[in-house]
Structure 1
Amino acid sequence: MQQESKIFNLIICTYKRPDSLRRLLESVALQTLYPEKILIIDGSPSLETKQMLAENNFQNTEYYKVEEKDRGLTKQRNFGVGKVNSECEIVCFLDDDIILAKIYFEELIGTYTIFPEALGVSGYITNETDWKKNEPDQKPPAGIFYFDGWNRVEGSRFALRRKFGLAPDKVPGFMPDFSHGYSTGFLPPSGKVYEAEMLMGGIASYKTSVLKKLQFSSYFEGYGLYEDADFSLRVSKIGKLYVNTSAKLEHHHDQEGRPDKYKYGKMVVRNGWYVWRIKYPKPVLRAKLKWYATALLLTFVRIGNIFTTAEKKEAFSESLGRLVGLTGVLFYPPKRYDA
């Protein structure tokens, strides 16, 4: 993608993943377009990450080990934003378990030239979904999701939701009025740039001017599930966001540093409710009923996993967390906080 020269910094927030971080930085080192500054914001209690960086010579890297008060994904991102160069025009964020294709930054940063109105752009994960091009005159069978000439397996949960009239009614990357929509992971590998209002935080970038106006919300603690949806939804209220499917990368899920399944299940519901109300602070009754019905249905599906999967303990813990989360948002819902 042809582009004007733009100064960009990269922020990587990490927690107890020195090996994953090293693999990411090795892929950054191969880029055709290189960040002027790479900020490593480490919330790890140990010194393993610092030691790994000392043993490797990654160009333009600055390391910061944060104290308890700045630990957690959103806090570490805000800390990193405060350390970017004064002339920086775009700030890129990457999770520490990502591996980049060689022209990732070239494609990502070039998007801001093609779409100068863009306030944020994310890349595209290539290793999580098996997409196929549509055959001529292909009729969509049940359980297959079609979009822009491509198709993929929709998933049993979406098929079940469809039976109950709870399927998403907006294109991927946009939130229905009852939330529970298609993520940008449902955008195909077409090589196109798609508009969205929600970006995946671990592969996103934003203009520095935006980050001077908005911060990542302090509502989200620790692992920060859905913090990316919260932030990008707030940005989308003031400008355009895009996903460039030519800015390719792989996500290799590292389980180290993730919350236990009970906490995760609780966050799925409680943080999901919070983000829904960021977009729709006063939803109509129909939308409220559909949000709760979908959350309850997905909880029952997870309960069913106790009997159908080998990871019975994990399924039980997450199910319990979801039930506690549902009870919580009914009687003591989160207070909205726009950072």
Structure 2
Amino acid sequence: MRHELVVCTRNRPDDTLRCLESVATQTRSPDRVIVVDSSDTDATKHVTETFARTSGLAVDFFHSAPGLTLQRNAALDHLDESTDVVHFVDDDAILDPAYLHGILAAFEDHPQAGGAGGRICNLPEHLPNRLRRIFLLNSRNQGVLLRSGVNVLSFTGDRPRRVGWLSGCSMSYRCRSITGLRFDESRSGNGVGEDVDFSARVAARAELVWTPLAVLEHRQSPINREDQATVMRRVIRSRWRLAADRVGQVSRTAVLYAIAGEVLISLTKAGRHRSRGLARHAFAHLAAVGDIIKGTPV
């Protein structure tokens, strides 16, 4: 099974190097590593070229215009025609040495699977809340895409499970299952929600599998990060976009219902705990409704 690994990056040479170094430790090395960079300097290019000389891996470097979805599509355009599986990992992810072995084993054990993702080992504890479940903001089930557009992560489990979406920092696809699909380039910047959108469209074609045997740590880099309120508004617009594009079972009514629930819960807690942070969280959701009305893109 020929498999290639893609790292998309921008202005994060140190993070990229740490990620690549973890790729070099894999018990099942990728047949090729593709780095797609949109940095403002040549620092990442130099890091990648040095890694290519010393790692013994086949490494190709490409420069792209800024935009995560543009970079992901550029990687798809440069895949070898004989490649069976493409792995996408974030530049600030550190892979366990058996990560790729675990992903490939999931494909081998599930021949109908079109995509697979691994266990992000540094996620916070999953604590489903009944009130949040009522407002379609959470679920007892892990790895699901709710009608509200909320994507619930896979946190725990000792065996593979079928899921409705894959996280962008750990998503691999069987190439035959994504033929003709592209990442949505209208999602600007770091492409908030692009992973949910793409993987859910793959899930309409073939099953997606989460496996606990492929472990990685997502060390979220502070570089190129937007402030929390801006991100939340973009997340809401992304959920609305999923509903407009009829991705999965996401509906506009459910998206608005979930927003109302989040505002109610946040304002109630803000009053109880006198928390300005929770109040700002609620107002960010209300501002996102304004964005939706104005037609602000993701």
TM category (shorter chain) comes to 0.7 to 0.9
Change (3 A) 1:175 1:262: closer
2:150 alignment partner, SS class: coil
- Aligned pair partner of 2:68 in 50, 68, 73: 73
Q: Once the two structures are superposed, what CA deviation does each residue of 1:175-224 show, in whole Å capped at 9, x if it has no partner? A: 23233353223xx141x111011110220000112332211112211111
Instruction: Find the counterpart in structure 2 of residue 39 from structure 1.
Output: 34
2:149 alignment partner, SS class: coil
Stretches of structure 2 that go unaligned for 5 or more consecutive residues are none
Q: Write the letter of the residue equivalent to 2:59.
A: T
Residues paired across the two proteins, number: 294
1:184 alignment partner, SS class: coil
Q: Does residue 175 in structure 1 map to residue 145 in structure 2?
A: yes
Structure-2 separation of matches of 1:282 and 1:100: 32
Instruction: Find the counterpart in structure 2 of residue 148 from structure 1.
Output: none
> Could you tell me how far 1:329 is from its partner in structure 2?
1.8
Change (3 A) 1:225 1:283: closer
Q: Once the two structures are superposed, what CA deviation does each residue of 1:113-151 show, in whole Å capped at 9, x if it has no partner? A: 110000000111112235xxxxxxxxxxxxxxxxxxxxx
- Aligned pair partner of 1:209 in 170, 176, 183: 176
Q: Once the two structures are superposed, what CA deviation does each residue of 1:8-39 show, in whole Å capped at 9, x if it has no partner? A: 00110001111111111111111110111100
2:179 alignment partner, SS class: helix
- Aligned pair partner of 1:60 in 47, 58, 62: 58
Q: Does residue 161 in structure 1 map to residue 128 in structure 2?
A: no
2:144 alignment partner, SS class: coil
Stretches of structure 1 that go unaligned for 5 or more consecutive residues are 1-5, 131-151
Structure-1 separation of matches of 2:255 and 2:22: 44
Change (3 A) 1:220 1:107: same
Q: Write the letter of the residue equivalent to 2:290.
A: T
Task: Look at both structures and tell me which one has the larger radius of gyration over its CA atoms.
Answer: 1
Q: CA RMSD in A?
A: 2.9
- Aligned pair partner of 1:10 in 5, 8, 26: 5
Q: Does residue 328 in structure 1 map to residue 291 in structure 2?
A: yes
Judge conservation of contact 1:122–1:199 (CA < 8 Å) in 2. Answer: yes
Farther off after superposition, 251-260 or 297-306: 297-306
Q: Write the letter of the residue equivalent to 2:105.
A: G
1:34-183 alignment to 2 at 5 Å? Answer: 34-56=29-51, 57-58=54-55, 59-66=57-64, 68=65, 71-130=66-125, 152-154=126-128, 158=129, 160-162=131-133, 166=136, 168=138, 171-180=141-150, 182-183=152-153
Farther off after superposition, 299-308 or 205-214: 299-308
Change (3 A) 1:304 1:244: farther
Identity %: 26
Instruction: Find the counterpart in structure 2 of residue 135 from structure 1.
Output: none
Q: Write the letter of the residue equivalent to 2:154.
A: T
Q: TM-score, normalised by structure 1?
A: 0.77
Structure-2 separation of matches of 1:65 and 1:224: 18
1:223 alignment partner, SS class: coil
> Could you tell me how far 1:303 is from its partner in structure 2?
6.7
Q: TM-score, normalised by structure 2?
A: 0.87
Instruction: Find the counterpart in structure 1 of residue 242 from structure 2.
Output: 275
> Could you tell me how far 1:99 is from its partner in structure 2?
0.7
1:76 alignment partner, SS class: helix
Change (3 A) 1:291 1:316: closer
Q: Write the letter of the residue equivalent to 1:234.
A: R
